[in-house]
Structure 1
Amino acid sequence: MATVTVRNLPAEVHRALRVRAATHGRNTEAEIRDILEWAVRPPKRLRLSSVISVCVA
């Protein structure tokens, strides 16, 4: 696994990350991993054909 260092992170961003992590019941590092993974690998998008077939049925 790779290691990433983030420099010059504003204090208010770090504080918001800690609060968000606590809200989700995990530590700040786990929260950052989750945010990064979601950013680069978002949940699968719905296909238009799937939406249309549900609306027509």
Structure 2
Amino acid sequence: MASITIRNLGDGVKRRLRVRAAKNDRSMEEEARVILRHAVDQEEMPAKGLGTAIHELFAPLGGVELEIPPREPMREPPRFD
């Protein structure tokens, strides 16, 4: 198992960590491990794609039917003679 040392931790942060650990019946060290483990696990969750996020945002509003224009024949490519 690896170990780390955290320097320059503010007094307020240390106090809140101690209180949080006491509320959860853990040592400060175990509480810090739980917090770090949770933070790292959150980052590994796959993010939604942009299209999925947009769809989920606007799906409750309903959809719109657009008229599709008729297809036309392709134009001749330009000539550079």
Give me the TM-score of the superposition, normalised by structure 2.
0.51
Q: Percent identity?
A: 50
Across the aligned residues of Structure 1 and Structure 2, the Cα RMSD in angstroms comes to 1.7
Per-residue displacement from partner, 1:3-56 (whole Å, max 9, x unpaired)? 1100000000000000000000010000000000000013x78xxxxxxxxxxx
Larger radius of gyration: 2
Partner of 1:2: 2
Of structures 1 and 2, the one scoring higher in RCO (CA 8 A, sep 6+) is 1
Partner of 1:27: 27
- Structure 2 unaligned segments of length 5 or more: list them: 47-81
Q: Does 1:17 align with 2:17?
A: yes
Work out the number of aligned pairs and report it.
Answer: 45
Q: Secondary structure at the match of 1:41?
A: helix
AA at the equivalent of 1:19: V
Which contiguous aligned blocks of 4+ residues in structure 1 show a shift greater than 2 angstroms? none
Between Structure 1 and Structure 2, the one with more helix by share is: 1
- Structure 1 unaligned segments of length 5 or more: list them: 46-57
Give me the TM-score of the superposition, normalised by structure 1.
0.72
Structure 1 distance, partners of 2:23, 2:32, is: 13
Partner of 1:51: none
